[in-house]
Amino acid sequence: MFAFILGCLYLISALVTLFLIKEKFNIFGFIYNPSNRKFLLIFDTPFLLISFAAIIEQMHWLLFLIFFMHALNSMTLLMRPQFFYQSKEEMQLMNEGSLNNYLVIMTSLVGIGCLLVSYF
């Protein structure tokens, strides 16, 4: 059940990201703004908690990977925020449109993967 909820949450996140892209919102400018650090931690918390609950409910490598990535992201923002914000320079080397597409595609794939894990 938690893997299904996690999958739905990821797919909703992908749809919201698509809407923000359509409205010409600068997603990566928002993410890499240090004053939005608390928002990012609050946004990451439900994904972290639900993925942990999904691991307890059903052991699967995809759920472990999701939990690990969210835990790593949150811990980096909490413990070493300067390291997180240094990666902005690396992101600027890529085209913003391709980064947005990558974000939507990865979020959608993880959401579909969670739905498949919950089904089988």
Give the model's pLDDT for residue 90. 67
Kindly give, in sequence order, each residue whose CB lies less than 8 Å from that of residue 88, ignoring residues fewer than 6 positions away: 28, 32
Q: What's the number of domains the chain is made of?
A: 1
In which residue are the tokens 């390291």 written?
Answer: 83
Sign of the dihedral through C-alpha 30, 42, 93, 95 = negative
What residues have CB less than 8 Å from 8, skipping those under 6 apart? 111, 115
List of E strands, 1-58 = none
Q: What is the pTM of this model?
A: 0.86
Query: In this predicted structure, which of 12-21, 43-52, 84-93, 111-120 has the lowest mean pLDDT?
Result: 84-93
Domain carrying residue 95 = 2-119
- pLDDT by residue (tens digit) across 30-89? 888 888 889 999 999 999 999 999 999 998 999 999 999 999 989 988 898 888 777 766
